[in-house]
Structure 1
Amino acid sequence: MKILLTEKPSGNAYIESLMNAYKKAGHEVFGDASNFFNSNVRPDILHIHWPERLNEWYSAKKGSQQQWLELISSRLKWYQSQNVTIIHTLHNLAPHDSKEDSSREAFELIIAYSDILVHHCTRSVKIFNKLYSESQEKKNIVCPHGDYLIDYKFVNREEARRKLNLPIDKTIILNFGKQRPYKNHNFVVDAFNKLELQSKYLILAGEYLYPPVSFGQRWLLRSRNMMREILPNRTVKYFYRSFSSDELAEIFCAADCIFLGQHSALNSGVLPLAATFRRPVIFPDVGCFSEAMQSWKSECFAAGDVQGAAESLKKICLSVQENNFELPDNGEWLAKNSWENHVGNILQSVSDL
């Protein structure tokens, strides 16, 4: 079969892993938003991810929002008229970081035209059925997120810490990912400060996405972040930047555990990243987080509960120390969350239509 994805693999290990799994299953795969809008090749499957990125692609062509919506609708109608199976993977509850009403409309439009909705957990199915009436009429399937073996590279813990200028003798907690407001960095720091552990050390790492504020406020935030990065701190280290695949391996291998602090979310790629790199996880009970961490060493706390997060951090950190920093075995988790299983579930659902 020919499968068209609305994404291209560059810089996105999720999409690259998915494409590779489709190819391994014997299918022809091509991608990119440009093909969605312009190609006259009829695929057997159209697999849509992050509809707002279609907006980003079209906005670069200087089209209006209304023209974009009309084009999305006409293209979906064309694929439907060609008996193409339309699949939409639901990564977020609404368009990611988009303030445009048209992005929300496109999100709903794509759900309406989809034959199959792919979720990363059963809770996601229930949430979408409440939020979007069209979702209830679709074939909803659950496919775990998938691993990040495509980015995996072993780096000795001490070597990784030396490269990043991190203390060798500390229990290092990593908060990783693009720095968005809903990821609750103040909460992460507050919980860390409440953690009763002498050897504790926190890393906050990832590109900082500035909120839509005035020039003056933005300047103040940039200045603050610059000071955080350059001024010495005995217990906290900031890396406000993106990471290459090699750098990703270094920072995960330097850490002893991974800490997420979101007050709300549906999915997070950091969870499967942590399990792939064999790092225990402390996370809030939101969205698909708990299901994503089944079969993996982790501690869960109620979202927004600083004391609960600190206690969960302590449990994991003490466990890591008691096991002499030996990494847990992730074989069971990898088997349950393989891309082969992910793609197999999708293709079986297409056959069942």
Structure 2
Amino acid sequence: MLQAAPPNPIDVRFFPDYRGTNPYQELLYRSLGPAVIAQPLDSAAQIGAGGQDAGSILHLHWETAAFTDGKQSAESFLDALSGFRDRGGRIVWTIHNLMPHDHRYRAVSKQVRSGILALADIVHLHSLPALTAAMEQHALPMAKVRIIPHGNFDGVYPSFSREQARSELQLEDARMIVLMPGQIRAYKAPGALIEAFLDVAGPDDRLILAGHRAPDVDDLTVPDDPRIVATFGFSMDRDLALVHAAADFAVLSYTASLTSGSAILAQTLGRGTLGSDTPGLRDAVLVPATGVLYDPAPEGALASALHAALNEGPDPWAVRGKAAAQAARARDWTAIGATWRSLFMELARLPRPAGVLTS
């Protein structure tokens, strides 16, 4: 009996391509299966190139990458998106952040975001807390909004015991180890965290800052204190797994967070989180089972929360870590990928705008 030929895969292009430093996109597109072929664009200029856009889908992520490298203006970026739509392409925009982390681009970003909201077919957020926060800042077209969770990082990082990790890092004698993971950026308030830690930590406690040091914290001063362990630079998968295994909990002292990949990474690697009460952490942290959130507004709030967390000792945080790992398993990419696949198939079936050539 003859079988029908499988349908052509759905063509998805994504920009920017951050797979080299963030596993999120690799995990997302791998989860879609053969029905969707996702390919990166090397630059935003490629969005309007080629002219064969009918039936294609553009998945736009961190949109500021399109106009912060000096190669393209915000206006030309929006023109490219408009041309893509006019030729029959469809646009999905994932809002990862409320605003750019770099303050220099906030004014132009507001203009660009208004344009993307008008052009996008789908506006994607990772959680209800993220949606609530985005609605306070943007006039979201709710008919376009979809919420699909951020998946876990299972299988990306190796596993180490706490004892092995501390031995390898020569931190066997530490009492409590606190970890600030991921990119070290101004919005994570690393300076305030260092100051608070040194105020409340005991002589055998340690704070590890592990990640690439962004230009917006070039003026960050790391005191010459044995309790501070700073390993700046792009960490390899093994390095990230090692510092998480050595730590009792991760601390994320965000001034703002819409989605927190760092919190979900800590969760995946079995570590609880102490963090500021922001949308990204409300999504990732189940209080008090997997972590503690504090109100960052009052003066001294970070130091007070950190003092309480350190005084609890390692055992309660070990329990939270196990609960966090269990919660991370619910962020399985099999289910999340199926939801994304359905969304892309929905877009692929939409009729093309009038006047679009389909040669």
Normalised by the size of structure 1, how large is the TM-score? 0.81
Per-residue Cα deviation, 1:224-277 (whole angstroms, up to 9, x for no partner): 45xx5xx4x231112222211121112211211101111222222110010011
Of 5, 24, 29, the match for 1:19: 29
Aligned counterpart for 2:162 among listed residues 157, 160, 172: 157
Report the secondary structure of 2:212's partner residue.
coil
**For the residues of structure 2 that align with 1:305 and 1:204, how far apart are their CA atoms?**
24
Is residue 180–residue 251 contact of structure 2 (8 Å, CA) maintained in 1?
yes
Write the deviation string for residues 98-131 of structure 1: whole angstroms up to 9, x where unpaired: 6244443222211211122111221222232232
Contact 1:121 1:143 in 2 (8 A): yes
User: What is the rounded CA distance, in whole Å, between the counterparts of 1:86 and 1:72 in structure 2?
Assistant: 8
Aligned match of 1:169 in 149, 171, 174? 174
Amino acid at match of 2:66: L
- List aligned pairs for 1:252-267, cutoff 5 A: 252-267=244-259
Give the C-alpha shift of residue 311 in structure 1: 4.6
Secondary structure of 2:256's counterpart equals coil
1:252 aligned counterpart, secondary structure: helix
Q: Secondary structure in 2 aligned to 1:328?
A: helix
**Correspondence 1:7 to 2:16:** yes
Tell whether 2:142 aligns with 1:145.
Answer: no
When residues 277 and 254 of structure 1 are mapped into structure 2, their CA distance, relative to the original with a 3 A threshold, is: same
Q: Structure 1 residues 23 and 6 mapped into 2: Cα distance closer, same or farther (>3 Å)?
A: farther
C-alpha distance in structure 1 between counterparts of 2:137 and 2:68, whole Å: 24
Which amino acid letter does the alignment assign opposite residue 302 of structure 1?
D
Q: Look up the match of 2:91.
A: 86
> For 2:235 and 2:290, how far apart are their aligned partners in 1?
25
* Secondary structure, counterpart of 2:102 in structure 1: coil
Residue 128 (structure 1) aligns with: 134
1:23-51 CA-partner distances (Å, limit 9, x unpaired): 37x42221224453434254553211011
* Equivalent residue runs for 1:1-353 within 5 Å: 1-8=10-17, 9-23=19-33, 26-34=35-43, 35-39=46-50, 40=52, 42-56=54-68, 59-60=70-71, 63-78=72-87, 82=88, 84-97=89-102, 99-100=104-105, 101-133=107-139, 135-195=140-200, 197=202, 199-211=204-216, 221=219, 224=221, 228=223, 231=224, 233-294=225-286, 297-305=290-298, 307-317=300-310, 319=312, 321-322=314-315, 327-330=321-324, 332-349=326-343
Distance 1:116 1:43, change over 3 A: same
> What is the number of residues matched between the two proteins?
331
Task: Verify the 8 A CA contact 1:51 1:95 in the aligned structure 2.
Answer: no
- Output one character per residue of 1:57-78: Cα deviation in whole Å (capped at 9) or x when no partner: 6x34xx4554344333323433
CA contact (8 A) 1:194 1:307 kept: no
Q: What secondary structure does 1:22 align onto?
A: coil
- What secondary structure does 1:118 align onto? strand
SS at match of 1:270: helix
User: In the TM superposition, what whole-angstrom CA distance separates every residue of 1:132-159 from its partner, at most 9, and x where no partner exists?
Assistant: 22x1344222222211224321123333
Distance 1:126 1:136, change over 3 A: farther
Provide the alpha-carbon RMSD of the alignment: 3.0
* Distance in structure 1 (CA, Å) of the matches to 2:63 and 2:339: 22
CA-CA distance at 1:307 after TM superposition: 4.6
Q: CA–CA distance in 2 between the matches of 1:102 and 1:28?
A: 32
Q: Which amino acid aligns with 1:45?
A: I
Contact 1:120 1:142 (C-alpha < 8 Å) held by counterparts: yes
8 Å Cα contact 1:92-1:265 kept in structure 2 = yes
- Is contact 1:85-1:350 (8 Å) kept? no
Give ranges in structure 1 of 5+ residues lacking alignment.
213-217
How many percent identity over aligned positions?
21
Partners of 2:187 and 2:108 lie apart in 1 by 22
In structure 2, the CA distance between the partners of 1:331 and 1:247, relative to structure 1 (3 Å rule), is closer
Is the 8 Å Cα contact of residues 284 and 303 (structure 1) preserved in structure 2? yes
Question: SS at the partner of 2:33?
Answer: helix
Q: Return closer, same or farther for 1:12/1:211 CA change in 2, 3 Å cut-off.
A: closer
**Change beyond 3 A, Cα 1:204–1:292:** same
Is the partner of 1:211 in helix, strand or coil? helix
Are the structure 2 counterparts of residues 292 and 125 from structure 1 closer, same or farther at C-alpha, using a change threshold of 3 Å? same
